[in-house]
Structure 1
Amino acid sequence: MRSLWRLRSFLRPYGSRILFAALCLMGITGTSLIFPLIIRQVIDVGLASADLRYIVYAALAILGLGLLRSILAYGQRYLTEWVSHNISFDLRNRLYDHIQHLPFTFHDRTQSGQLISRTIEDVRAIERFTGNGLAELVRVGLLLIGIISLLFLDNPLLACIALLPMLPQMVITTRFGRRISRYFLTVENALGELSVRLQENVSGVQVVRAFSREPYEVQRFDKVNRRLFSARLTVISEFAKIMPTSHFLIALATILILWFGGNMVMRGELTLGELVAFNSYMLLLAEPLQILGWLVNSAGEASAG
């Protein structure tokens, strides 16, 4: 993952657009955190006093926040994609220029298919990470900080109880992050070898057919293709372990909130609106925890390149 830190030199020329995208992300996060507060007020004030106007005002506020969030999401998505495509453009040019100035001995011992794979697939993986991945990483960080802070400000005891199931999720994701770069490096090497086989056979197809070596070359290609398939399957199987675990732990956190929070409501220590808002924040926390696994997956693919 440390290799991704070297991308900062490619990010510097687009600092102003990255700043605007970050501001949009902060706005999106802020609007997401306001929704449960409005719902809490509607339950504790609007419904409790049977005030229809309060409910209408709350509905209009939610509509306005939804519209604002849509505008901010459009701006953030456009800016991050613009930056990511410019970075991939600069990176491909830098990489091609670097390949042109490498010594002849390097080209003698390096297969051209590997270079093609690195220039296309690896740069594409970095482009995906700097576009969607990096923006989502910032958004997940802001959401985690905001939600956890609000949970502890609202009810520290219930927050500790509700967040207990999240600890195993963090441990699983951390362990996955340590392994994923190695898995993706195997995938990239297999993909490069497949590109070598394809390039050699396409350029030398007349020689292959002249000596009737088609079955042998098909067998060689199938062998390399199967290695790529197995490497991809390993990544998928490891990543698939995270999502079911996160769903189970989130369901467990919801059960704990309903049990302990429900008892607090019955004892008068917590209002119904506060309990609903608390559960809404936990469900909102589920999204970044699930996305975190995808982000680790994306970062691992980018760093392998």
Structure 2
Amino acid sequence: GLVTPWLIQQVIDKTLEYGSISVVGLYAVGVVAVSLISGVLGFGQRYGMAHVVQGAMYDMRNTLYDHILHLPFSYHDRARTGQLISRITSDIDGVSRFFSFGLSSIISMTLTFLGASFLLFRMSWQLGLLGLAMVPPMAFTAVKGSSTLGPQFYRLRQQFGRITAQLQENYSGVRVVKAFAREDYEIAKFKRELEEFFQRRMGVVKVFALFMPVMSFLTWLGMLTVLTYGVWSVINGRLSVGQLVASQGYLMMLTGPIRM
């Protein structure tokens, strides 16, 4: 990905230098080749990581199931079956998603951030400083949003576990429910749990709805600042047009990991 802005820079600068678009074909082949190689490597990375993670999750589910079966009666008297089902299914799925996509994304985004910073400074230390100046406010916003979302996601998972528990208990004890004509009571109870889940889910959505526009504003403000300085540098002969365009690509890579 870091090569693509450089190739675009070369296409623009060489075309303006020679006054011909004959060089476009050569660099277009380069862009396609880089995209294909990146796609193949990305597939191999994701598939390999998923294979390892799914094997680990397989062992984890078996270990957890074995552990639950060997717990004493006193534990099962206190624990709700639905909560245990939620632990084996949705909680482990969350761990799987993190290691399948989250961990590899963290490594990839860190390398991209460092690479984009280096190339931006190499192009112009002023552009590099302006680009990095965007990082603290965006990082603060991201940390603030994450610290707010963390507890909300935890409560959301807890509520989902309660819903699963009630479903399991009602289905396994449906004869008792019908025998005592408790259908309406159980339906009302389930609706209350669903309403609680809905409210918690909307709380998460609200944080995202507030968080994303702020991040977008900071991103565009930073890009506009860098673009303004870049245009001034082009006019004064400090940068080429191709470098100006490439700087915007590197800037998106610089802020991309934070926006994610």
TM-score (norm 1): 0.80
- Check if 1:117 corresponds to 2:120: no
- State whether residues 152 and 200 of structure 2, in contact with CA within 8 Å, keep that contact through their aligned partners in structure 1: yes
- State whether residues 144 and 288 of structure 1, in contact with CA within 8 Å, keep that contact through their aligned partners in structure 2: yes
Give the structure 2 partner of residue 252 of structure 1: 221
- Check if 1:140 corresponds to 2:119: no
- State whether residues 54 and 96 of structure 2, in contact with CA within 8 Å, keep that contact through their aligned partners in structure 1: yes
- Distance in 1, Cα, partners of 2:67 & 2:207: 35
- State whether residues 159 and 196 of structure 2, in contact with CA within 8 Å, keep that contact through their aligned partners in structure 1: yes
- Check if 1:192 corresponds to 2:166: no
Give the structure 1 partner of residue 45 of structure 2: 76
- Distance in 2, Cα, partners of 1:95 & 1:175: 34
- Distance in 1, Cα, partners of 2:52 & 2:217: 36
User: Which blocks of at least 5 consecutive residues in structure 2 are unaligned?
Assistant: none
- Check if 1:62 corresponds to 2:31: yes
Give the structure 2 partner of residue 243 of structure 1: 212
State the shift of 1:244 in Å.
1.8
Give the structure 1 partner of residue 62 of structure 2: 93
Give the structure 2 partner of residue 269 of structure 1: 238
- Check if 1:175 corresponds to 2:144: yes
- State whether residues 183 and 235 of structure 1, in contact with CA within 8 Å, keep that contact through their aligned partners in structure 2: yes
- Distance in 2, Cα, partners of 1:162 & 1:171: 16
- State whether residues 166 and 250 of structure 1, in contact with CA within 8 Å, keep that contact through their aligned partners in structure 2: no
User: Considering only aligned residues, what root-mean-square deviation do their CA atoms show, in Å?
Assistant: 1.7
- State whether residues 81 and 169 of structure 2, in contact with CA within 8 Å, keep that contact through their aligned partners in structure 1: no
- State whether residues 166 and 249 of structure 1, in contact with CA within 8 Å, keep that contact through their aligned partners in structure 2: no
- State whether residues 151 and 278 of structure 1, in contact with CA within 8 Å, keep that contact through their aligned partners in structure 2: yes
Q: 2:133 aligns with which of 151, 160, 164?
A: 164
- State whether residues 141 and 215 of structure 2, in contact with CA within 8 Å, keep that contact through their aligned partners in structure 1: no
Give the structure 1 partner of residue 96 of structure 2: 127
- Distance in 2, Cα, partners of 1:51 & 1:231: 59
- Distance in 1, Cα, partners of 2:150 & 2:120: 34
Give the structure 2 partner of residue 287 of structure 1: 256
- Distance in 1, Cα, partners of 2:173 & 2:68: 24
Percent identical across equivalent pairs?
35
State the shift of 1:35 in Å.
0.9
Q: Supply the AA of the counterpart residue of 2:7.
A: I
- Distance in 2, Cα, partners of 1:66 & 1:39: 13
- Distance in 2, Cα, partners of 1:103 & 1:205: 26
- Check if 1:223 corresponds to 2:192: yes
- Distance in 2, Cα, partners of 1:221 & 1:173: 35
State the shift of 1:53 in Å.
4.0
TM-score (norm 2): 0.93
Deviations 1:172-219 (A, max 9, x none): 111223333322221121111111211111111112112211111111
State the shift of 1:286 in Å.
4.1
What secondary structure sits across from 1:74 in the alignment? helix
What number of residue pairs does the alignment pair up? 260
- Distance in 2, Cα, partners of 1:147 & 1:182: 33
- Distance in 2, Cα, partners of 1:233 & 1:87: 33
1:1-16 matched pairs, under 5 angstroms:
none
Q: Supply the AA of the counterpart residue of 2:92.
A: V
Q: 1:150 aligns with which of 106, 115, 119?
A: 119
State the shift of 1:133 in Å.
1.5
Give the structure 2 partner of residue 24 of structure 1: none
Give the structure 2 partner of residue 39 of structure 1: 8
- Distance in 2, Cα, partners of 1:270 & 1:187: 51
State the shift of 1:75 in Å.
1.0
